[in-house]
Amino acid sequence: FNLSHSGALALIALAVGREVGVDVERIRADSPWEATARRFFRPVEIEELMRLPLAERNAAFFRLWTRTEALIKAAGCGWSDPPPDPDADTRWTVRSLPMPPDFAAAVAAEGNGWDLRHRHWSSGRVV
């Protein structure tokens, strides 16, 4: 299992027989996203961000950040280690998760072809 939280949201990922990681982040307008991206992302990821219209870059940064963080958690490495490249390393599958507009989230797990099932709880009830 893996857990992440941001603001009032929490995500828990459960898997059987495979490593799993999850991340959720509130999209903050005041984020120093460009400096953070240049420090932690691969050059190809930075290029992809910079090709987007300026108004879309901040949210795109958080989508990429959560995908990378989920993968790092699943792989058991840290930000000081280069994370696996999910496009080149077929051991991992990373998926973005549907969230409210001011959040980004992702899950990463070993292998491919796995099913993603999600539940939303609010006020202690399954919604």
pLDDT in tens, 21-43: 999 999 999 889 999 999 989 89
Q: How confident is the model at residue 1 (pLDDT cuts 50, 70, 90)?
A: very high
pLDDT for res 123: 62
Tell me which amino acid residue 89 is: D
State pTM to two decimals. Answer: 0.88
Instruction: Determine the Cα–Cα distance for residues 108 and 113; give it in Å rounded to an integer.
Output: 12
Question: Among 20, 40, 4, which residue's Cα sits nearest to residue 93?
Answer: 20
Give, to the nearest 10 degrees, the angle between helix 43-51 and helix 54-75: 150
Q: How confident is the model at residue 70 (pLDDT cuts 50, 70, 90)?
A: very high
